[in-house]
Structure 1
Amino acid sequence: MSESSYTLPPLEWVRAFEATARLGSFTAAAQETGLTQPAVSQRIANLEKHLGAQLFIRQPRTIALTVEGETWLPHVQRALSGLSDSSEMLFASGRSRLTLSASQSVIAMWLAPRMSQLCDATNAEFSIQSYTLGGQEATTDNTVQIRYGADDWSHDYQIPLFKEQLAPVGAPHLVAAGWEQLPRIGCTGPRPDWDHYAARFGIPLTPIPQIRMDTMNGAVAAARAGQGVALASLPLCASELTDGSLVQLGGDIYDHNETYWLVATRSAIGRRQWQALCDVLTAP
Structure 2
Amino acid sequence: MVVQLSWLRTFVTVYRLGSLTKAAQRLELSQPTVTHQIRNLERTFGKELFERVPQGVVPTCAADSLIRDVQGPVDALGIVVERHFGTGPGGRPLCVGGPVELISSRVVPAVSDLVADGLRINFSFGLADDLLERLASGHYDLVLSTVRPRLRGISAVTLVDEEFAILASPELASGIPTGRIMKEGPAAVLDKYPLIAYAESLPIIRRYWLTVFGIRPTSAPSLVIPDLRGVLAAVKSSAGISVLPTYLAADALLRGEAVKLLEPEIPPINTFYLATRDGGMCHPDLTLLHSHLLMKARLWV
What TM-score, normalized to structure 2? Answer: 0.56
Which one-letter code corresponds to 2:169 in the other structure? A
How far apart are the structure 1 equivalents of 2:11 and 2:280?
Answer: 24
In structure 2, the partner of 1:255 is 268
In structure 2, the partner of 1:178 is 177
How far apart are the structure 2 equivalents of 1:20 and 1:130?
Answer: 28
Which stretches in structure 1 are left out of the alignment for 5+ residues? 1-11, 45-54, 59-69
In structure 2, the partner of 1:106 is 102
Which one-letter code corresponds to 1:145 in the other structure? V
The yes-or-no answer on 1:194 pairing with 2:235 is no
Which one-letter code corresponds to 1:127 in the other structure? N
Question: How far apart are 1:264 and its partner, in Å?
Answer: 3.6
Larger Cα Rg: Structure 1 or Structure 2? Answer: 1
How far apart are the structure 1 equivalents of 2:114 and 2:258?
Answer: 27
In structure 1, the partner of 2:122 is 127
Which stretches in structure 2 are left out of the alignment for 5+ residues? 16-32, 49-60, 84-89, 179-188
Q: Cα–Cα, structure 1 residues 97 and 210, in superposed 2: closer, same or farther, change >3 Å? A: same
In structure 2, the partner of 1:52 is none
Structure 2 counterparts to residues 8-157 of structure 1, below 5 A: 31=37, 56=46, 95-120=91-116, 123-131=118-126, 138-139=133-134, 140-143=137-140, 144-157=142-155
Structure 2 counterparts to residues 237-252 of structure 1, below 5 A: 237-252=249-264
Paired residue total: 242
Which one-letter code corresponds to 1:148 in the other structure? T
SS at match of 1:138: helix
CA contact (8 A) 1:88 1:271 kept: no
How far apart are the structure 1 equivalents of 2:267 and 2:201?
Answer: 14
How far apart are the structure 1 equivalents of 2:127 and 2:150?
Answer: 22
Which one-letter code corresponds to 1:108 in the other structure? S
User: Please, which of 156, 159, 162 is the counterpart of residue 158 of structure 1?
Assistant: 156
CA RMSD of aligned residues (A): 5.1
Question: How far apart are 1:155 and its partner, in Å?
Answer: 4.6
Question: How far apart are 1:232 and its partner, in Å?
Answer: 0.7
User: Greater share of helix residues, 1 or 2?
Assistant: 2
Question: How far apart are 1:266 and its partner, in Å?
Answer: 6.5
Q: Identity over aligned residues, as a percent?
A: 17
What TM-score, normalized to structure 1? Answer: 0.58
Question: How far apart are 1:81 and its partner, in Å?
Answer: 6.7
